[in-house]
Structure 1
Amino acid sequence: MKLVDVCAFYAPKGGGVRTYIDRKLKAGAAMGHEVVVIAPGERTRVEERGPNARIVWLKSTLFPLDFNYRYFSDVDALYATLDIEKPDFVEASSPWRSASIIADWPGKAPRALIMHADPLSAYAYRWLDPVAKRDTIDGLFDRYWRHLRALDESYDMIVSASAGLTARLTAGGLTRVVTNPMGVDPGVFSPALRDARLRKGLLEMCELPEEATLLLGVGRFAPEKRWPMLVDAVTAAGHRKPVGLVLAGQGRDRKSIERRIGGNPHVRILAPITDRGELARVMASADALIHGCEAETFCMVAAEATASGLPLIAPDEGGAADQARANDGIIYESANPAACAEAVVEYCFGREAGTIGPRADIPAPRTMDDHFRELFASYERIVTEGRRPLAA
């Protein structure tokens, strides 16, 4: 099968989507498929990624809200590339404009929409939850729901990575949603990588003794990740228990995070970690992962932390919440700094009592290859048998 993924979110400095796509290129080729990713780039070029795997970069315009990303600004060039590739199956990896463009492509290949983003949670709910009920917000954004329902009619599958997102999409009237959780890079993350000296060094960076609790936050420095809330929560919890927080990431909100940290010596931002093996060592050497974003569709970093043996401290909505519940993590009310601080204190007490903490004996995690094996099999069935039937 030849699969073409039109991925508007793929970028050299991207986060979870880049990790996902990079693994898809390897996994697809290993499973006997040809995988081509079409991504918006600075210039048009082809990047070979090994046998039966490549990225076709199309010259595109910078995304005005985040210069790390671009958007497909030449639809004719995109259609021409699809026509040249002659795919057996097409994916769109963004629910925004590119999904509509692919829905309107006149080619005959079946297609799926991968919900790598949950815009309502990331933006509408985050902005309006303090002043309006969800039903009211959904009503205000009915145009977006109508957009999703139109895509649902055009695509053979809508792929959701978490049960919570599937439930919301189905409640919103979508009928072709399939839940297929993602996973972690196989062979990368493990509790065996825990390094006591690295942990001690990170705590010393936070001006704390070895007996203190070390929390880790990983992800893009973007507003929906709620890093300032986590800084406030850990600062508040620190008045009751010795706890440090190290953040690993990069993005346009770094300056605002630094301002929120202020003179607090117990919260530090690490230099960007681009090597996956190094990230795995840092993850395994912390005591828990703390997460602030309630808009995750899957939350790759939560899966990676769990595979590293770390407990999760997570908000009560989104993909991070689903994973925390499945792994006996600590849940707090989304967007509530006081509740987040209490969750941190609860974790610190549990760690001191020995009832919660990093684990060395964890079951084998679900990998991205498991996800892709299921995904490609579902695509092959559609290619062979035709469009997936409507949900009952």
Structure 2
Amino acid sequence: MKIVDVCAFYTPGGGGVRTYVDRKLVAFAARGHEMVVVAPGERDGMERRGANATIRWVRSPRFPLDRSYRYFADRAALHRVLDEENPDLVEVSSPWRSASIVADWRSERRARARLSLIAHADPLSAYAYRWFEGVASTQTVDRAFDWYWRHLRRLDRRFDMVVSASASLTGRLRDGGLQKVLTDPMGVEPGRFSPTLRDAAVRREMLALCGLPEDALLLIGVGRHAPEKRWPMVAQAATIAGARTPVGLVIVGGGSRQRPVIDAIAGNPHVRLLEPTSDRPALARMMASADALIHGCEAETFCFVAAEALASGLPLIAPDRGGAADLARSGGGVVYQSGDAQAAADAILAVARAGPAGRELRPVRTMDHHFDDLLALYAQGTPASKEGSCR
């Protein structure tokens, strides 16, 4: 099968999208398929990644709201690329302009290609619900943003399938009127995260950084300092719980929105911020050496960090909506009311009371499972009437 991924957020500078797509290029080629990633670039060009894997750049302008990205502006140029590549299936990983352009593709070669919209984002959860929380319910916000749901329903009619990254997102999309949604959760990097990496010395070092002894509860949080991650709320929850039992919190991440996090910590010596790291083995040791992972974002469509924590043998403390909640519930973790610091503090205390004896290790889905299931969906043909999920 020849698969073309029209990927608007694939950039030379890296990031989560590039990491995922690069891994998919290798995985699909290893399984005997040809894959071409079409991405907006500074100039037209081709980058070979082996016999069956290619990056094809389409000359595109910078995105005005974030100049680290570009966007597909030339509809005819993208259609020419699709004609030239003549794929069996086209993936689109953004629901915005690139999805509409692909849906408008008309040619003899379009007639043989199936279209798959990959739903890896939930912008209403990430932005609108948070902007209006305390003012309007999610149902009210959905009604106010019905233009967004109408747009998704139009794409649903024009694509052969919509592939969702989690059961909770699938439910939201179906509730919004989409008919062709299937679930294929992502997974962790195989062989990277494991409870066998737990290191008492690493745990002591992190607790010492928090000014606490070895009998304290050590929480870890991982993620960039963005508003939707709610690190100020997480820091506040650790402080509230710390008034009842010794709690240390280490947050690994960076970003331009660090000041609100520092303000929320308010000098609490038991909450520490660490710079983001590209040293994945070191991060895996840190994660396995903590006592639980706490997450604040209810807008995750899958939540790699939560899956990596499960693979590391940690219980999850997660908000009650989104991909992190799905993983916490299936993995025996604790969920709390999204955005509520007191509820998060109560969840922390519940994990502290359970102790290590209350933890249960469970099998964890890997990216190999994700890719195998995605290819199985594509091999089945158009799944408009199918229900359920893969695996």
**Is 1:145 aligned to residue 158 of structure 2?**
no
Rounded to whole Å, the distance in 2 between the matches of 1:48 and 1:284 is 37
SS at 2:39's partner residue?
A: strand
Q: How does 1:236-247 map to 2 (within 5 A)?
A: 236-247=240-251
Shift of 1:324: 0.4
**Partner letter of residue 356 of structure 1?**
G
Rounded to whole Å, the distance in 2 between the matches of 1:332 and 1:111 is 38
User: Pick from 161, 165, 184: which aligns with 2:165?
Assistant: 161
Shift of 1:12: 5.2
Shift of 1:220: 2.6
Are the counterparts in 2 of residues 248 and 272 from structure 1 also a CA contact under 8 Å? yes
The count of residues paired between Structure 1 and Structure 2 equals 383
Shift of 1:42: 4.6
Name the residue aligned to 1:381.
Answer: 380
Shift of 1:130: 1.6
Rounded to whole Å, the distance in 2 between the matches of 1:58 and 1:282 is 40
**Partner letter of residue 364 of structure 1?**
P
**Is 1:273 aligned to residue 277 of structure 2?**
yes
Rounded to whole Å, the distance in 1 between the matches of 2:10 and 2:310 is 25
Q: TM-score, normalised by structure 2?
A: 0.91
**Is 1:100 aligned to residue 104 of structure 2?**
no
Name the residue aligned to 1:189.
Answer: 193
Q: 1:89 to 1:57 in 2, by over 3 A?
A: same
- Superposed CA RMSD in Å reads 2.1
Q: 1:254 to 1:69 in 2, by over 3 A?
A: farther
**Is 1:294 aligned to residue 298 of structure 2?**
yes
**Partner letter of residue 39 of structure 1?**
A
Q: How does 1:8-157 map to 2 (within 5 A)?
A: 8-11=8-11, 15-106=15-106, 107-108=110-111, 109-157=113-161
Shift of 1:65: 4.2
Name the residue aligned to 2:253.
Answer: 249
Shift of 1:175: 0.5
Name the residue aligned to 1:367.
Answer: 366
**Is 1:177 aligned to residue 176 of structure 2?**
no
Shift of 1:16: 4.2
Cα offsets for 1:333-387 (capped at 9, x unmatched)? 0111111111112222222xx4435x6xx343211111111111221232xxxx3
Q: TM-score, normalised by structure 1?
A: 0.91
SS at 1:340's partner residue?
A: helix
Rounded to whole Å, the distance in 1 between the matches of 2:246 and 2:261 is 21
Are the counterparts in 2 of residues 16 and 300 from structure 1 also a CA contact under 8 Å? no
Rounded to whole Å, the distance in 2 between the matches of 1:64 and 1:342 is 42
Name the residue aligned to 1:356.
Answer: 358
Name the residue aligned to 1:205.
Answer: 209
Rounded to whole Å, the distance in 1 between the matches of 2:247 and 2:72 is 44
Rounded to whole Å, the distance in 2 between the matches of 1:41 and 1:248 is 31
- Gaps in structure 1 of 5+ consecutive residues: none
Are the counterparts in 1 of residues 331 and 362 from structure 2 also a CA contact under 8 Å? no
Are the counterparts in 2 of residues 14 and 68 from structure 1 also a CA contact under 8 Å? no
Percentage of matched positions with identical amino acids = 60
Rounded to whole Å, the distance in 1 between the matches of 2:151 and 2:352 is 45
Q: 1:165 to 1:53 in 2, by over 3 A?
A: same
Cα offsets for 1:75-130 (capped at 9, x unmatched)? 34333332332221111111222221221122332111111101121112222232
Range 58-67 or range 304-313, more displaced: 58-67
- Gaps in structure 2 of 5+ consecutive residues: none
Are the counterparts in 2 of residues 15 and 219 from structure 1 also a CA contact under 8 Å? no
Range 241-250 or range 112-121, more displaced: 241-250
Q: 1:187 to 1:132 in 2, by over 3 A?
A: same
SS at 2:358's partner residue?
A: coil
**Partner letter of residue 84 of structure 2?**
I
Rounded to whole Å, the distance in 2 between the matches of 1:3 and 1:185 is 22
**Partner letter of residue 337 of structure 2?**
E
Shift of 1:260: 2.9
Cα offsets for 1:36-58 (capped at 9, x unmatched)? 22233455444433342232334
